[in-house]
Chains A and B, each alone.
Chain A
Amino acid sequence: MKANLRLYVLLIRASVRGAMQYKFNFIGSAFVSALVQFSEFLMVALVLVRFGSVDGWSWYEVGYLCGVMTLARALYRSFASDVHYLEKYLVSGDLDPLLLRPVPLLLALMTQNVRLLVGDLAQGALLVAVCLRELLASGQADWTAIPLTLLAIVSGAVLLFAIGLATAACGFWLTRIEALQNMSEDAARSAAQYPLTLYPRWMRTLLLVALPVGLVSYVPALYIVRGEYGAWLLVAAAGAAAVFLLLALRLWTLGVSRYQSTGS
């Protein structure tokens, strides 16, 4: 485990060094990604400005939801990098050389083409900081909200990683998975940036149980900034993240054994 961690760091560094050869692209992609994230938040902000609140959630509360989601996603994408782009490897057969190395395939994939989502991270952090400060100042939340938020972000990142990994693993059967990713990753995540009470019951169930992106920011926020239910919400969210990760890893292992490669 420790050796793998060292290797992970080494490979990440190699990957970054490689990317640095194309400096413009490296900086540019970080910038563009942040811009896309920001425009997504802008959509939410517009809705808020128009209506003042969403289903009883104030500006700052919804901002908090968005910020936690952005941070969780940026963490997942920074650490797991090319897992999201497995399709490219499946279509070209580029997975072969990775399988020839004496390291877990997932580790090899996680360290390919590392993108540092500095822009996303900074923007998410800023949003969470601004919203939390306001919520603290108004007395709606106390200082424990800060460590609990960090916990929620980490467990959220693990959950998003698990969902991304399971989706990618489907690629071993389907090869092309872009559409599936749009549904399970992008659409689901965008939906979970709003309070889930906004949606009909079936969709709420979907986003909490089957594709539990609601556990990334909505469920933790219920307790952390609104004080509803109890601290067990956070434990449940973290537990669900762990369970989903285990299931996703199972599916991944099964998928790798079904890998078909390409003609010579």
Chain B
Amino acid sequence: MITVNRLCKTFRIPVAREGRFAALRSLLSGEQRLKEAVRDISFTIGRGEFVGYIGPNGAGKSTTIKMLTGILHPTSGSVDIGGLSPQLHRQRVVRRLGVVFGQRSQLWWDLPVRDSYDILAAMYRLEERAARLRLGELSELLGLGEFLDTPVRKLSLGQRMRADLAAALLHDPDVLFLDEPTIGLDVAAKRSIRGFLHTLNRDLGTTILLTTHDMDDIERLCSRVMVINHGQLGYDGTIAELRERIGLPTVARVTFRAGCAVPSAAEAAGLPFVIVERAPGALTLAWNRRELTALEMLRIVSAWGEADDVHMEEPAFEDVIHRVY
């Protein structure tokens, strides 16, 4: 569906001088610095995939999305969406795309939400009946009914985001690009948007590429993640693989019914886990789940006393990602 081949984007930025007459010297020098926002990125996304595209601020996420949607022209390399280049055939490609920028609404700011949909329907040359039907569906799924007649500028952020999503989907696109769709939203709004995206991908088979800083979004929705940093692709695979590769330890706190005989430091050194904390009647342990299962851990620990309760914590996905950055 989407093929990206050796994509590069270099921006020219005028260099600002410092010191005396800085402004004048900047003006006269005309010196430019090159910033490589995206460096040699290649990937392929198949139909129906839900891909998370993550990376720290300034890593090149938005630049990539802008090249995929035809807004920017790459310095070198190529993009192919459904057989067409978004740069050469922008209008034809865009017709098959839905795009939501969380930071920027695409609706007509001063008009009621409904009017925006009418205009979009005409732009995408949708049949009137089909458009009405589609809007009905989206309206029901996203709960647009309560604010369809309100001007866009008076919507709350959560409402606006739902309205924007519907606008991006009105023409039933094959591919949906989402650039931080949950930014600034409260828990309830996030949840409803996540639920909607999940349905969209699973039931309607829409291919989705999502960039976000919310790791919950990624973990709950995406079957595959791509990590970009300093303009380069650092990882491309499933979330489970990523966790495994980073190998952050699982942490467990074991409480004993009647105290325990804690092994000495010399003995502990030979164990397949690390004792992080010793408290009377409780131990906190850390180990790698790939080398030792929880049951095996428990078997070893039971030898020291009768275990009463075990509380296990998997490493947070956010910590895993922090390691990749």
For A105, the closest partner residue in chain B by CB is: B90
Number of cross-chain contacts by CB at 8 Å = 75
Contacts of B115 in A (CB 8 A): 14, 17
Name the distance in Å between A253's Cβ and chain B's nearest Cβ: 11
Q: Which of A10, A99, A100, A104 sits near B122, CB closer than 8 Å?
A: A10
> Does B111 lie within 8 Å of A97, measured CB to CB?
no
Interface residues on B, range: 35 or more
Interface check A259, CB cutoff 8 A: yes
Q: Which of B72, B92, B99 sits near A259, CB closer than 8 Å?
A: B72
Q: Which of B72, B73, B91, B124 sits near A104, CB closer than 8 Å?
A: B91
Interface check A21, CB cutoff 8 A: yes
> Does A99 lie within 8 Å of B119, measured CB to CB?
no
For B62, the closest partner residue in chain A by CB is: A264
**CB 8 Å contact bits of B157-187 with A (1 = contact, 0 = none):** 0000000000000000000000110000000
> Does A99 lie within 8 Å of B111, measured CB to CB?
no
Name the distance in Å between B213's Cβ and chain A's nearest Cβ: 11
Q: Which of B92, B94, B111 sits near A18, CB closer than 8 Å?
A: B111
Q: Which of A14, A95, A96, A102 sits near B91, CB closer than 8 Å?
A: A102
For B71, the closest partner residue in chain A by CB is: A99
Interface check A101, CB cutoff 8 A: yes
Interface check A261, CB cutoff 8 A: yes
**CB 8 Å contact bits of A2-34 with B (1 = contact, 0 = none):** 010011001100100111011000000000000
- Bound: A125/B297 CA distance, A: 92
**CB 8 Å contact bits of B72-104 with A (1 = contact, 0 = none):** 110000000000000100111011010101011
> Does B123 lie within 8 Å of A14, measured CB to CB?
no
> Does A101 lie within 8 Å of B123, measured CB to CB?
yes
- Bound: A10/B119 CA distance, A: 7
> Does B106 lie within 8 Å of A97, measured CB to CB?
yes
> Does B151 lie within 8 Å of A96, measured CB to CB?
no
> Does A102 lie within 8 Å of B123, measured CB to CB?
yes
- Bound: A100/B62 CA distance, A: 14
> Does A99 lie within 8 Å of B108, measured CB to CB?
no
Indicate whether A19 sits within 8 Å of B87 (C-beta atoms), given known contacts A7-B122, A100-B97, A101-B94: no
> Does B123 lie within 8 Å of A17, measured CB to CB?
no
Name the distance in Å between B212's Cβ and chain A's nearest Cβ: 12
Pick from A3, A11, A100 the residue with the most CB of B within 10 Å.
A100
Name the distance in Å between B35's Cβ and chain A's nearest Cβ: 11
> Does A102 lie within 8 Å of B71, measured CB to CB?
no
Contacts of B99 in A (CB 8 A): 100
Interface check A180, CB cutoff 8 A: no
Contacts of A263 in B (CB 8 A): 58, 62
Indicate whether A102 sits within 8 Å of B104 (C-beta atoms), given known contacts A11-B119, A18-B109, A259-B71: no
- Bound: A224/B91 CA distance, A: 44
Interface check A88, CB cutoff 8 A: no
- Bound: A94/B103 CA distance, A: 11
List residues 53-81 of chain A with CB under 8 A from any CB of chain B.
Answer: none
> Does B58 lie within 8 Å of A260, measured CB to CB?
no
Contacts of A103 in B (CB 8 A): 91, 123
**CB 8 Å contact bits of A238-264 with B (1 = contact, 0 = none):** 000000000000000000011111011
> Does B73 lie within 8 Å of A257, measured CB to CB?
yes
> Does A261 lie within 8 Å of B119, measured CB to CB?
no
Of the A-B pairs whose beta carbons lie under 8 Å apart in the complex, a sample of 18, sorted by A's number, is: A7-B122, A14-B108, A14-B111, A18-B111, A22-B110, A95-B71, A96-B101, A97-B101, A99-B69, A100-B106, A102-B91, A102-B95, A103-B91, A257-B87, A258-B73, A259-B73, A264-B103, A264-B179
Q: Which 8 A-B pairs have the closest CB atoms?
A: A18-B110, A264-B62, A102-B95, A97-B106, A99-B71, A257-B73, A102-B91, A21-B110
